[in-house]
Structure 1
Amino acid sequence: MDAVDAVNSLPAERLGRDLRACCAAPAWGAAIVAARPFADRAAVRAAADAAARSLSWDDVLVALAAHPRIGERAAGDSTEAAWSRREQSAVAPDPELVAANRAYEEKFGHVFLIFASGRGKEEIVAEARKRLENDSGTEREIVQDELRKIALLRLERMLDARG
């Protein structure tokens, strides 16, 4: 069975649970489950992309609550924690990063979220400082897009594991 067949045939509850490792917002997974069956991998990805773009801010906040601060290692042995550690593998705890996280959280009220795969500490700290100049509306749009990119990367990993 290939990955798309697996996504199409899994019971909705099981698929929804698996999708929460990609994005903890239940609405995201529910939208993907509801869009089945998929003809191919591109259709799964398109549904996931559309679902991420349509999340409410409350949904985004639910997803953000599942993300550790950048530079902190996710605890546990869940798939989501393992992926988070992998995505942040080039980012070690650092006083500059701690300060950037703190300033960001004080201004916006939630963790600084960035698509960290392939990015080093210097680039991430610079981006955090740059984003501190944003107003809340602009930052919400950026956060939602960063969440979308992370969810799509994790979806690809989930599909690869099933294929």
Structure 2
Amino acid sequence: MDLEEFNSTPADRLRPALAACCDVPRWVDAILAKRPYGDRAALTALADQVLRELDDDEVDRALQAHPRIGDRPQGASTEAAWSRSEQSGVDDRPDVRQALADGNRQYEDRFGRVFLICATGLSAEQMLTSLQTRLTHDDATEASVVHEELRKIALLRLTKVVIA
């Protein structure tokens, strides 16, 4: 939809699309509350500001909507379709899929949450390299990286909701 349609669509119809970008009610509510937007830059600026303010619980909630890197999300939901597209750099070679599965397990054991990376445009090898590097982070550093990756994904997805 274009910005004019975004501004005029009833909130209850927009809420699912925004939650597919970032499943944090406070973020969705903030975006809806500030309509109408004069331009996409204003929408993006507010979305970015609120994303930067998410607390740890909100980040954890948002992570629950994200599949593991290398998993093939099933279904026709917006989130599943976007995840399949975003992870298009993950090929079907068994060694790559196994390395991702092993890395995901190590990451989840280490940090207690899914490994999140803005995968758009990345190869499987790039994702694996990032995963291995991030396994060396302390908890605070990794929490900051996860927050930034979530922010990038949410803003990228928002551009899929509101098309120029």
TM-score (normalizing by structure 2): 0.92
Q: Matched residue of 2:13: which SS?
A: helix
Identity of aligned residues (%): 50
5 Å matches for 1:24-35? 24-35=23-34
User: How far does the alpha carbon of each residue in 1:110-143 deviate from its partner, in whole angstroms, 9 at most, with x for none?
Assistant: 0000010111111111101100111111111111
State the number of aligned residues.
Answer: 160
Query: Any stretches of 5+ residues in structure 2 without a counterpart?
Result: none
What whole-Å deviation, never above 9, does each CA across 1:25-66 have from its counterpart, x for those lacking one? Answer: 222211111222211011111111111111111111111001
| Alpha carbons 1:4, 1:44 under 8 Å: kept | no
Rounded to whole Å, the distance in 2 between the matches of 1:14 and 1:55 is 24
Q: Are 1:111 and 2:110 matched, yes or no?
A: no
Q: Distance in 2 between matches of 1:26 and 1:17?
A: 10
Structure-2 separation of matches of 1:86 and 1:62: 22
1:132 aligned residue (123, 132, 135) = 135
Contact 1:114 1:146 in 2 (8 A): yes
Q: Which runs of 5+ in 1 are unaligned?
A: none
Superposition pairs for residues 4-153 of structure 1, below 5 Å?
Answer: 4-92=3-91, 94-153=97-156
Matched, 1:157 2:156: no
CA root-mean-square deviation: 1.3
* Ranges of 4+ aligned residues in structure 1 off by more than 2 Å: none
